[in-house]
Structure 1
Amino acid sequence: MASTEACDLIVFPELTIPGYLSQDLLYNPEFIDRNLEVLEEIVAASRSVSPGLHIVVGYIDRNRGVGKPFTNMAAVINAGKLIQTYQKQLLPFYDVFDELRYFEAGSETTVFLIRDWRVGVAICEDLWNDKDGDDYNYDNNPLEQYRNTNVDVLLSINSSPFVRDKCSVRLEKIAPASADGMAIVYVNQIGGQDELVFDGGSFVVQDGELKHFSDGLFDDSYEIVDLADQRKAVAPAILTSIERLTELLILGLRDYVQKSGFSELVLASSGGVDSAAVCKLACSAVGPEKVHAIRMPSVFSSQHSRDDARTLHENLGCWDYEVPVDHEAL
């Protein structure tokens, strides 16, 4: 689509090819080799698209120098060639992040030309060294480095997982960095990866103003943004709502099931609030016809809870089973 629409650039999130974060799977040589093979396949495929289209995609490379064994990279591809690479500089090692365990940090910026625009590349944490947080005590500041090189556009590829209100924080913290006219294109991962769920929320800011915001979680289409368009955008209120949290729970569960190779779900259903919520989320994630809800009443179960569980399953349309717990046999 990007080629057909004569786009200049298509941007994919951080570590798009191997997934974020693959943890000790990185120590499997075949995993790294396959990730590099896919990168070569993308380079080869770029020969058949518009020659003006540039592709930025995240991948893992081996560190051929001293230090940690791997590097967190972004590739810049155009017309069948790998024209530039960028090595992530700021590696988080707090909360759910453990990148310092695997990756060696870079120190250089990467700038390439698209038409008359100077375009820079950063990866996730690289934009967070001047955000006044205790977790961001790094020696260098890639964002300041790019300001000093006078880039027109800074691409930031991310795998930033969901935290309540984090989407609003990203906008509040990053938008002011574009106040001097530099456009920032922030592209974030969407979907579940093991215990993490990525909430997307990709955006474009320029002159301190929001120019574009992507809020869809279940839409696999790609949005086209014209940086010359002067219209402003507004982030939807849903980003901090219970509805959004529900969507993210469904997204995380659905992706975990699909990526793990499961086809159906089995769960215990008591008729209580907790199991009812789980059953509803499961049906929304994979479809009620693929959910097997098992009631396991005992002598301690009330008739009310038994009836509630059965009614819930009927209303949701999932499979219903009863396997009584026989305490005497125990």
Structure 2
Amino acid sequence: MRVTIGQINTTNGDIDGNVAKILAAIERARSDASDLIVFPEVCIHGYTSQDWFQDRDIINSALEPLESLIPATEGITAVIGTIRPNEDSDGKRLFNSAAVISDGSLVGFVDKTLLPEYDVFDDPRYFEPESQPNGIVEITCRDGKKHKLGIVVCEDFWNDKTFWRERLYEKDPTAIVLERGAELIVAINASPFNKGKIALRCEMVSHRAKHERTPIVFVNLVGGNDGIIFDGASLVADEEGDIILQAPAFEEFVETVELDSRKPDARGISGDETQSVRDALVLGIRDYAAKNNFRKAVLGLSGGIDSALVAALAAEAIGPENLLCVMMPSPFSSAGSITDSEELVRNLGCEGRIEPISDAFDVLLKQLRLDKPTRGGESLAAENLQSRIRGVLLMAISNAEGRLLLSTGNKSELAVGYCTLYGDTNGGLAVLGDVLKTEVWKIARDINQTAGREIIPNAIITKKPSAELAPNQFDEDSLPAYELLDPVLRMYFEQKASPAEIIAAGHDAELVYGILNKVEHPANEFKRRQLPPTLIISKNAIGIGRRRPITHKYRRVAKRDHLSAKGL
């Protein structure tokens, strides 16, 4: 059997555009003499369409796009992720389905059984689960032979008891189709990127194919949709567990393989996590801008590492000719901040502009009767005023020139509230909102290493971090060193570790409780709630997957947590 991966980049609600991509991929597969082409989960409407899936017009017209797809399948079978109405009076109004179309006829639908409700997923809000999973569909290939496909939708593949130590569900729809004679597993997915996910998927697919002695076609969505980034990295494994077709990550891919080719393919797996995160951020910027009709972007360039990295990523994403970097020196800006920024602008080949804020700052200080800071923390209102003046300037440029404003704050700062609301948090997209400070440095160095020259000036990478809102001010005056802060934040967010577990990993107890009480403080939840959409590159990130109240009285108390850890 010849199988084609249809790894396409879809846009929520662009049904005509998404269908056009599906039709083009089907035509490519037909020219490859393919028997079967497989597309991602809900690729017709867009998987992250959220409450659009509760809209009556969307529900009532859910099957209309199939009318143009069915005739296009003459001589080939297509498995396409879609939605379909629930005709019963009870339950949610839609099913999350795989439409199976073969040789110009709709064979039927396979509905998703396991509906995830964690992190960025909210399937039970929109979809009715399949209560009697049986994803066996029989198709006829070009050689006239009939084959049984076992079709599963995303989460229905992710519950293998021989692979996972802990499982979220009792049922395993993939095991059910295997028991019923599936000769080939077809898994359609909208699996978002996060660190380590690409390698995990490869291991999972390879393990199950080898364990069950059954080939697997695993097709994943690619593209950025708001803050969620889908990496693609689709793959086909043969019955030996060898990967015989590997789609590259972060780009569209339509290609065909013979299932018994026995030719291992590892093109899409670099093994370099830093490069994968960089590629994810670039794709996230590019798609967010393009899908929201922005050709140009703007950001504030401070002379620090965060804005420098965002500038480098944005130049790669949309082209340096479409990027404007604005330098806005205040009375406390060092000379190096401007010269380093100017060097970066030259290295990137983008436009630079200087808009000093000192005069506006002095006028507002006088009007508001505020004292100019003489040291950090002495006058927070005056410090924050500088950031807010910069925010006003950037938003004005964004409005006047039709540019997407990119926010430059990193996850370490945003987690503990070391940012100014309506100042450096302004923007249309938070590029580094899920990137820890230590990861920022790592990506910056990787950019230079890959280029073989200094794209980001080394002076920016090595300088001591400072907000430069007061004389001789440095981040470590207000925060723990990032080398101490970030490992605690990583365990807290990505592993959902308790304070006791973080302390047991070797971190100082006082440090841990101090950090977590900053993260969870209502004032900092309030700030994060108002952030722009954040590009997500890890599990349990700051963004739509984090759901905590702003108004609360919870506090971390060391004694209580230690007693809980002992089961007392």
The TM-score with structure 2 as length reference comes to 0.55
Q: Contact 1:126/1:142 (CA < 8 Å) preserved in 2?
A: yes
2:155 to 104, 120, 125: 125
Tell me how far 1:241 sits from its aligned partner.
Answer: 2.6
**Aligned-partner Cα distance in 1 for 2:228–2:326:** 27
Alignment correspondent of 2:256: 224
**Residues matched between the structures, number:** 325
| Pair 1:70-2:94 in alignment | yes
- The unaligned stretches of length 5 or more in structure 2 are 1-27, 365-568
Which residue in the other structure is 1:5 paired with?
A: 32
Alignment counterpart, residue 47 of structure 2, candidates 20, 26, 42? 20
2:134 to 109, 121, 128: 109
Q: After the TM superposition, which residues 292-311 of structure 1 pair with which residues of structure 2 at under 5 Å, given as runs?
A: 292-311=324-343
Give the helix-richer structure, 1 or 2. 2
Counterpart for residue 152 of structure 1 = 183
Q: 1:287 to 1:4 in 2, by over 3 A?
A: same
Deviation string 1:114-158 (CA, Å, 9 cap, x unpaired) is 333211210111012224354x33232111101111111010000
Q: Which amino acid aligns with 1:295?
A: M
- In structure 2, what residue type is equivalent to 1:112? E
Q: Hey, what's the Cα distance between the residues in 1 that align with 2:169 and 2:157?
A: 11
Do the aligned residues in 2 keep the contact of 1:120 with 1:153 (CA within 8 Å)? yes
User: Counterpart in 1 of 2:344?
Assistant: 312
Q: How does 1:1-330 map to 2 (within 5 A)?
A: 1-33=28-60, 35-46=62-73, 51-65=74-88, 66-106=90-130, 107-110=132-135, 111-114=137-140, 115-129=145-159, 130=161, 131-132=163-164, 134=166, 136-179=167-210, 180-217=212-249, 219-234=251-266, 238-325=270-357, 326=359, 327-330=361-364
* Cα separation, 2, equivalents of 1:33 and 1:299: 60
Is the 1:126–1:143 contact (alpha carbons within 8 Å) kept by the matching residues of 2? yes
Q: CA deviation at 1:305?
A: 0.5
Q: Deviations over 1:158-211 (max 9, x none)?
A: 000112111121222232222232111000111111111111111112234223
Q: Secondary structure at the match of 2:64?
A: helix
What secondary structure is seen at the aligned counterpart in 2 of 1:223? strand
* TM-score calculated relative to the size of structure 1: 0.93
Q: Who wins on radius of gyration, i.e. which is larger? A: 2
The 2-side partners of 1:237 and 1:218 are apart by 11
Tell me: CA distance 1:234–1:240, structure 2 relative to 1, closer, same or farther (3 Å): same
The runs of 4+ residues in structure 1 deviating greater than 6 Å are none
Whole-angstrom CA distance in 2 between matches of 1:6 and 1:64: 37
Contact 1:210 1:234 in 2 (8 A): no
Q: Which residue of 1 aligns with 2:541?
A: none
Q: Give distance in 1, aligned partners of 2:30 and 2:158.
A: 32
1-structure distance, mates of 2:266, 2:71: 38
User: For residues 269 and 238 of structure 2, what CA distance do their matches in structure 1 show?
Assistant: 21
CA shift digits 1:192-234 (9 cap, x unpaired): 1111111111111223422324242454341111102122334
2: CA distance between counterparts of 1:239 and 1:64?
46
- Higher RCO, 1 vs 2 (CA within 8 Å, ≥6 residues apart): 2
Letter in 1 for 2:45: P
TM-align CA RMSD: 1.8
User: Which structure 1 segments of 5+ residues have no match?
Assistant: none
2:303 maps to a residue whose letter is G
